[in-house]
Amino acid sequence: MNAPLPAQVLKQHLIDPEICIRCNTCEETCPVDAITHDSNNYVVDPDICNGCMACVPPCPTGSIDNWRLMVRSEAYSVQEQFGWEELPKEKALPVVDDAAAPSSDEASDVLAQPAAQTTFTLPGASVPPWSAAHPYVNLYTHKAPMTATVVGNYRVTGADTESDIHHIVLDFGELPFPVLEGQSIGILPPGVDAQGRPHHARQYSLASPRDGERAGYNNLSLTVKRVTEDHGGVAAHGVCSNYLCDLAKNDTVQVIGPFGHTFLMPNHPRANLIMICTGTGSAPMRAMTERYRRRIDTGENGKLMLFFGARTERELPYFGPLMKLPRDFIDINLALSREPGQPKRYVQDLIRDRAGQVRELLADRNTCIYVCGLKGMEVGVLDALRDVTMQGGQDWSILHDMLRREGRLHFETY
């Protein structure tokens, strides 16, 4: 009377379209190109996915972490997934009679042995520092976004430079929007894309600490670069960045999030931070630095060391306020790549220049490292950290593993 158990059971990997913010992180991370997207959804191809989990930790929303036990021949196809507005309900697997049923061990073997599993190592940690505060995520979603009011919007790069970066302050009024430094929010730009679908959300890192852009206020700030050309230098009009940079005071914006559960700062006394950033990657560094600055007199702070890269001083967001911070509070290293009359310097050059101090901090288990900015900086920074470690006679692969395992090395690049 019972249907026989199909020969193959698949633990199918699915992405929740209601939570996914279409940030492309999963597609970029997948080592076997199993993730793809159309203008509606990001989806996983059941014929390619090998369950390696590489895409799961970097996903800012957790929408990636959905699984269904399926009869392999009935797995949801990529085309079906493109059409979804929400995940389908779980289906019960066909029931089998006891004799035909595999033992639970056999069943888990089926699930645990995807074809040709690839091992994939993330450059950074997939866990937060042990002492990080607990983050709230996905409180507001596409279906139920929160409306915030713009209470400030001004340029933080020199008016005569090509780099138009804005500091934007959003206020949440009476509604709760709890955040931590290192988290990001999603902005839903108004209007529709070329296919007539609502624009997808874009992510922006918080530039303010957990207690608000103004301490004690229910607001936060963002650092947004106006996109006027694509990554290849071809003229392009960035939908969301232009929308944000053009907002006026008292305009309202649709916000979702917060997102991010690993790129978080340690919460225990005397934790040291090494912060390495370029351009708008300075946003989370500003948030963390400001958290430390507000408790400067408490004696709780560890050391802060900043490596900050830009083409020129005038293209460095927040240059003025940054340079006013006391030197015994933060060790600032500016790497300028196009400052007239000066040799080109990149953040990795300065990490090597300051090898002694970097090694000293790396040797302290209270030190966490944060890297944020252009995607291309990851390799250069890792190489520089490897070089300074090896110069000190230490094995970088052992230290690198430890930093990842202990949630002490974090990357957020885009």
Catalytic residue among 26, 30, 49, 372: 372
Q: How far is the CB of 65 from ligand FAD (least distance, A)?
A: 17
Buried b / exposed e over 143-157, threshold 16 CB at 10 Å, is eebbebebbbbeebb
Buried b / exposed e over 251-270, threshold 16 CB at 10 Å, is eebbbbbbbbbbbbbbbeee
- How far apart are the C-alpha atoms of 265 and 289, rounded to whole Å? 10
Contacts of 413 (CB under 8 A, 6+ apart): 281, 371, 372, 373, 374, 375, 376, 377, 378
Concerning whether 204 is annotated as a catalytic residue, the answer is: yes
Contact map string, positions 283 to 302, toward ligand FAD, x by CB under 6 A? x-------------------
User: For ligand FAD, which is the closer residue by CB, 229 or 300?
Assistant: 229
412 is in an annotated binding site: yes
Would you count residue 137 as binding ligand FAD (CB under 6 A)?
no
Contact map string, positions 219 to 238, toward ligand FAD, x by CB under 6 A? ----xxx-x--xx----x-x
User: For ligand FAD, which is the closer residue by CB, 358 or 377?
Assistant: 377
338 is in an annotated binding site: yes
Considering only residues 382-401, where is the footprint of ligand FAD by CB under 6 A? none
Would you count residue 262 as binding ligand FAD (CB under 6 A)?
no
Site for ligand FAD (CB under 6 A): which residue of 87, 151, 239, 325?
239
Considering only residues 14-73, where is the footprint of ligand FAD by CB under 6 A? 23, 60
Q: How far is the CB of 316 from ligand FAD (least distance, A)?
A: 14
User: For ligand FAD, which is the closer residue by CB, 70 or 181?
Assistant: 181
Q: Which residue has the tokens 């279409």?
A: 22
- How far apart are the C-alpha atoms of 216 and 406, rounded to whole Å? 32
Closest residue to ligand FAD: CB criterion: 238
Given its phi and psi angles, is residue 32 left (phi above 0), alpha (psi -120 to 50 degrees) or beta?
Answer: alpha
225 is in an annotated binding site: yes
Q: How far is the CB of 213 from ligand FAD (least distance, A)?
A: 14
- How far apart are the C-alpha atoms of 241 and 36, rounded to whole Å? 24
344 is in an annotated binding site: yes
Handedness of CA 40, 149, 243, 215 (dihedral sign): negative
Concerning whether 205 is annotated as a catalytic residue, the answer is: yes
205 is in an annotated binding site: yes
- How far apart are the C-alpha atoms of 222 and 190, rounded to whole Å? 18
Would you count residue 183 as binding ligand FAD (CB under 6 A)?
no
Contact map string, positions 201 to 220, toward ligand FAD, x by CB under 6 A? -xxxx---------------
Q: How far is the CB of 229 from ligand FAD (least distance, A)?
A: 6
Site for ligand FAD (CB under 6 A): which residue of 12, 61, 63, 241?
241
Mapped to the 3 state alphabet, what secondary structure does 353-396 carry? HCHHHHHHHHCCCCEEEEEEECCCHHHHHHHHHHHHHHHCCCCH
Burial of 362 (0-12, 13-18, 19+ CB in 10 A): buried
Catalytic residue among 42, 204, 292, 370: 204
Q: How far is the CB of 301 from ligand FAD (least distance, A)?
A: 24
Would you count residue 371 as binding ligand FAD (CB under 6 A)?
no
Q: Are strands 252-259 and 66-71 parallel, antiparallel or unpaired?
A: unpaired
Burial of 57 (0-12, 13-18, 19+ CB in 10 A): middle
Would you count residue 240 as binding ligand FAD (CB under 6 A)?
yes
Concerning whether 368 is annotated as a catalytic residue, the answer is: no
User: For ligand FAD, which is the closer residue by CB, 241 or 367?
Assistant: 241
Which residues are known catalytic residues? 204-205, 372, 412, 414
Residues that bind ligand FAD (CB under 6 A): 23, 60, 184, 202-205, 223-225, 227, 230-231, 236, 238-241, 280, 283, 412, 414
Annotated binding site for NADP(+): 205, 225, 280, 337-338, 344, 373-374, 412
